[in-house]
Amino acid sequence: MFKTIRDFDVSKKGIFLRLDLNVPIKEGKIKDDSRITAALPTIKFLLDKGCKVVACSHLGRPKGGPSPEFSLSPVAKRLQEYLKENKVLFSSDVVGEDALKKYADLKEGELLLLENVRFEVGETKGDEELAKKFRKFGEVYVTDAFGALHRAHSSVYQTAKLFDVVLAGFLVEKEILYLKEKLANPEKPYFAILGGAKVSDKIPILKNLVEKVDGIAIGGAMAYTFLLAKGQKVGKSLVEPDMTETCLSIMKRAEERKIPFLLPIDHIIAKSIEDTETECSNEVKEDFGGFDIGQKTIENFKKEISKAKTIVWNGPMGVFEKEQFKKGTVEIAKFVAELDAVKIIGGGDSVSAVKVAGVEDKITHISTGGGASLELIAGEKLPGVEILYEKGE
Ligand code: AMP
């Protein structure tokens, strides 16, 4: 098992804290600070224990070194606004003179936020020399950067390897408990709902789930590649023709395992994604695209899902961002929300979809990660998770 910040006496220790503070920033203004507020419980816990906390994060994808638009400086300011009783310092470099000087002067109950770790080109390469520099900050490594745990980046993985004590923060603890532990032994029947744009993004999760679950429902654009593989008309729907063989093999496995594999049986179609003139049809006519699941499909999905005791959902049932194509996603979300089951939503766009339906508080766990959630649900080994288990023994 892994250890959390509750399982080790962190009092007054120097902490190297890897966070995911990758918030959207436009012209120096933070557009959505939910990743910052999500990190606060772990930060507060450590500061209240008198720790000297050196926090770091990536922000965006800067290329080849520092660039002002990717600076974490606005994030440091926002952190100070939330952490009124604790001093927040910011270093203008990642592992340079300013960071080392500020760390040397750091007092108990204070937080130093380092500049964007990706300003160091070694970060995304998993550079070990960079990790040795991070190792100088503190005695205990804490990670709460769930969205980054699938990457073997320097601050995520190599640095953790160098510490004797590696602990999970509250966010990471919850993510691993649900996406890894709970789903390893799900209460049955276990049902998966998958949707979203591309099959290719979801091959590993599909291949894994088809071996484990008691039923799968597929909506979204993804469904059209499966329908195409079955020889059905898909009109102008978004498809990936080179994925049809994979789709056939997944459907074959579902058949061999005798589990229901549900695809749309009717569709909300339109001439284009912008079109507000739509119709519900059993087939996607030529010149039309399918942009949401139809009412018969909704009812069919509900009938199967209603039996489930564990549900994992990733990806919307249609173009939920548009009023005319959001009904399938909203109805399924509301239905899932009311079920007496463990309900896990696997990150990314699915989270916004659940918010559109207004049922967030009825979901057992909503994952904050995109790629990391998908990989963990798919049973893959994530570097940042593996190291927690290794060091936890
Ligand atoms: P993903 O990130 O793979 O979960 O995909 C989410 C995106 O898929 C959302 O932006 C949806 O608008 C889009 N999407 C879902 N269904 C469809 C569809 N039938 N046609 C086109 N885009 C879709």
Whole-number Å distance, alpha carbon 48 to ligand 1 midpoint, is 43
pTM: 0.89
35: three-class secondary structure by DSSP: helix
In a domain, residue 385? The reply is: no
- Say what the pLDDT of residue 45 is: 98
- Say what the pLDDT of residue 255 is: 98
Widest distance between CA atoms in the chain: 69
In a domain, residue 130? The reply is: yes
- Say what the pLDDT of residue 120 is: 97
- Say what the pLDDT of residue 288 is: 97
In a domain, residue 6? The reply is: no
Q: For the chain, how many structural domains are there in total? A: 2
Q: Which of 168, 188, 219 is a domain's end point?
A: 168
CB of 290 sitting under 6 A from ligand 1: yes
Return the CATH number at 59.
Answer: 3.40.50.1260
Strand order across the 267-270 sheet: 279-281, 267-270, 289-293
Same-domain status, 140 and 205: no
Same-domain status, 52 and 136: yes
Same-domain status, 273 and 341: yes
CB of 328 sitting under 6 A from ligand 1: no
Same-domain status, 233 and 84: no
Domain that holds residue 108: 14-168
CB of 319 sitting under 6 A from ligand 1: yes
Same-domain status, 220 and 368: yes
Of residues 126, 169, 347, 348, which has the active-site annotation? 348
Whole-number Å distance between alpha carbons of 263 and 255: 13
In a domain, residue 383? The reply is: no
Write the residue with the smallest CA distance to atom 11 of ligand 1: 319
Same-domain status, 106 and 224: no
- Say what the pLDDT of residue 210 is: 96
Same-domain status, 95 and 128: yes
In a domain, residue 387? The reply is: no
In a domain, residue 393? The reply is: no
72: three-class secondary structure by DSSP: coil
Same-domain status, 142 and 186: no
Same-domain status, 311 and 230: yes
pLDDT tens column, 207-259: 999 999 999 999 999 999 999 999 999 999 999 999 999 999 999 999 999 99
295-305 vs 327-338: helix axis angle to the nearest 10?
Answer: 20
- Say what the pLDDT of residue 393 is: 82
CB of 201 sitting under 6 A from ligand 1: yes
The ligand 1 atom at the shortest distance from the C-alpha of residue 220 is: 16
Q: Sign of dihedral through CA atoms 278, 280, 286, 288?
A: positive
Same-domain status, 269 and 180: yes
**Ligand 1 pocket: which of 194, 224, 238, 319 to mutate (most atoms <8 Å of CB)?**
319
Give the residues of the chain that fall short of pLDDT 50: none
In a domain, residue 43? The reply is: yes
Of residues 198, 207, 302, 309, which has the active-site annotation? 198
Same-domain status, 85 and 209: no
CB of 349 sitting under 6 A from ligand 1: yes
- Say what the pLDDT of residue 173 is: 97
Q: Which of 168, 192, 219 is a domain's end point?
A: 168
Same-domain status, 235 and 337: yes
Q: Which of 152, 168, 184 is a domain's end point?
A: 168
In a domain, residue 390? The reply is: no
- Say what the pLDDT of residue 356 is: 87
- Say what the pLDDT of residue 208 is: 92
